[in-house]
Structure 1
Amino acid sequence: MSSWKKAAKANQKTHRERHQPESRAHLGLLEKKKDYKKRAYQHHKKERLLKILRRKALNKNPDEFYTHMINSKMVDGKHREKIKPDSHTPEQIKLMETKDMKYIEFKRAIESKKIDRMQSSLHMIDAANKIQNNHIFFVDTPDEVKNFDLARRLDTHPLLLDRKTNRIKNKELKAEVISSIDDEVIQERNKTYSELEKRIHREKELLVVQQKLQVKKHLKDKNIKKPKQIKPGTKEAPPVYKWEYERKK
């Protein structure tokens, strides 16, 4: 670089941005052109939007009505379909929000296996004990009828006479521990049956949700004609639709 250019560069004036006057220092930094352009762009954008909305409001028909006005609502600025409170239980709504058919099938398979294992271990003892049937004993003399002892005849303890299953013989138990064993067995059995009942209810809920998701999936198919609804959905059953018969080749 020549000495003349160096001298010209050394004498070059440094341009500084204009600062806020002292009388306006309380207003903060002075707005630059780039800041003004951003503010002006946002202002004109809002003006254009208000102009469009004002035109739509003027052209709207006050007598216009369609059913989606009452069947939907605004959630976070978006239209959402309203869910009828009598069509789904809270558990079904939570499960349907997952929108995952494989997850529902997986959980239902687990519940079904657990139910089968519990039923096979219980053997439905209570159901067997509630069956009304007769057990006839034959004796030879009227005195035997008068003095007939059912516990001695069955060779068991009197506390176990009501049982139709798991009636233990006297030689297999001691009389002093019968009551404690019986209470523990009853408590454990009631607990198991309570858990079994809950699992059966859970499996039924999963089945209903799975069926509802399957129907919803079929309704989204645009290649078939829209079916006719025969029965609306409830808490215990999915909606029933009738599809038009299509002959396959």
Structure 2
Amino acid sequence: MSSLKNAVPKRPYKERAQPNSRKKFGLLEKHKDYVERAKAYHKKEDTLRKLKEKAAFKNPDEFYFKMIKTRTVDGVHRPESQVNKYTAEQLMLMKTQDAGYILQKVQSEKRKIEKLTATLHSLDNQPSNKHIYFAEDREEANEIQSRSSKGRSVASSEAVPDSIKRKTISSYKELEARRSRVSELEKLYMDMTLQQELMKKGRKRKLREDELTNPTSKSVYKWRAERKR
């Protein structure tokens, strides 16, 4: 009976639509729409209740330092700028540590480049095997020469596997990428070293273009000579 019951086609369920007399009010609200609207309403109600409790139990004498270190912008508290959060000595120490880390990465990349270059050089310059044959007469010399030429042609006909070619090409690409990375890190290290020197004490000024003997796009500074005790 159950199989026959499932075989009989059922009428599809259709929800009631908005009557024609009430179409001006929009779509007819279904139960799932009511559930979402009720959840949103109760959530707002709970938020208002918690805020009222906080306002009722608030201590009028309480004080926080953020009350004087923040300002209200469009009703929202925003903290003051933290530009002068660190002292000059702390900034100097942080820049020194950053420069040391960059220098360490430069040295590490250079070691990897040397190792990779040596590997590729050994692959490209493989030693050629040379043999010296001694013949008693010209006929034997011609025969030995013909055999050696055939051997060279067979060896040259053997192609290098595609996997080795792909690995070699990827190694050359990696070498170029590491070299470009080293150049970028060296530029960054020089800039950080310059900023570190500019933070030190001493009178200095930036040279104008007409004062430079060798014009360059980078900024050049000159320190005033001081007598050391």
Please, what TM-score do these two structures have when normalized by structure 1? 0.36
Q: TM-score scaled by structure 2?
A: 0.39
